[in-house]
Amino acid sequence: MFDDFTLARITVGEVTLRVRHGGDGPALLLLHGHPRTHTTWHRVAPLLAGEHTVVCPDLRGYGESTKVPTTDDHAPYSKRAMADDMVGLMRELGHDRFAVAGHDRGSYVALRLALDHPDHVSALSVLDSVPIGEALARCDARFAREWFHWFFFAQPDTPERVIGADPDAWYRVGTRNTPERMGEENFADFRRAIHDPATVRAMLEDYRAGLGIDRAHDDADRAAGRRVACPTQVLWSTRDDLGDLYGDVLAVWRPWTTDLRGATVESGHHMAEDAPEDLARALRDFLAPERVRPPLGGSRGGDKSY
């Protein structure tokens, strides 16, 4: 995996992040989702490395990155905390301004990066998601049935016990998730993660933060009329349920953005593994220099006053 990429561990504040980086050109940060690690990008990152310096970290709590102690409000696993990690990581690697693409849970970190740190983010791509605040505001019986894990994961202690009893069964090892589908090394990295109780607890903390503090941050942004200032791309999988749940996915995102485009990708949910060439092409086209413009004014920067 990741030929000609560097594997490193970089300390940023209270966490040490495992990260692979390589390539040449404008910086592009790729953020994985649950229950993956950075290795989910192993088929995409090399396709982009000829035009971009590609950075693929494990988010805090995931993979081999630090699992910090939590608090009652789960703030250490908020998307704001994870976004701050990413700004620090990119600064350590010499990138003050960069594009970011995030999948699944990583897309929430990417959105928070663009909202909290607009001076650092040149372009935003979100894969298979709508904002957490939107998903919860629109929640109905169908969403609760099909996305029950959001609410189950938020419960104290029980999810750890259930998953820990048989991680392979919970995460569908051998059926949905196989070495053939994921790639052998990526599969092995994923399986190590789901068999580590500390990683499982940290991944659950991500979801617990999602239903509380992350939603509060999203709702505060909407109430203030804050939007993503940079060009934004939304991609969603044809064999996932985002379109079925929301119909016009771009209509959900439009109030959050100032410059929006999007399309479907013929893929299952894990599009970086299922359709790497199509995903890389979509990202490459979106990030062409003539498509990315400077940020608008009104940067919130590091202000955390609300």
Active site members: 104, 269
Query: CB–CB of 265/234 below 8 Å?
Result: no
Q: Give the phi and the psi of residue 294 in degrees, each rounded to 5.
A: -65, 160
Q: How far apart are CA 150 and CA 120, in angstroms?
A: 30
Q: Residue 213 carries which DSSP code?
A: I
Query: CB–CB of 187/171 below 8 Å?
Result: no
Side-chain-facing half-sphere of 263: CA atoms under 13 Å: 10
In the structure encoding, which two tokens stand for residue 187, read together? 């599969």
| Beta pairing, strands 15-23 & 27-31 | unpaired
Query: CB–CB of 69/205 below 8 Å?
Result: no
How far does Cα 188 stand from its chain's mean position?
20
Nearest to 58 by CA among 159, 189, 212, 232: 189
Nearest to 33 by CA among 108, 83, 113: 108
Q: How far apart are CA 242 and CA 238, in angstroms?
A: 8
Nearest to 202 by CA among 37, 62, 3, 11: 62
Which residue do the tokens 């300390």 mark? 11
166: three-class secondary structure by DSSP: coil
Write the CA distances from 82 to 10, 48, 103, 246, 251, integer angstroms: 14, 24, 14, 27, 27
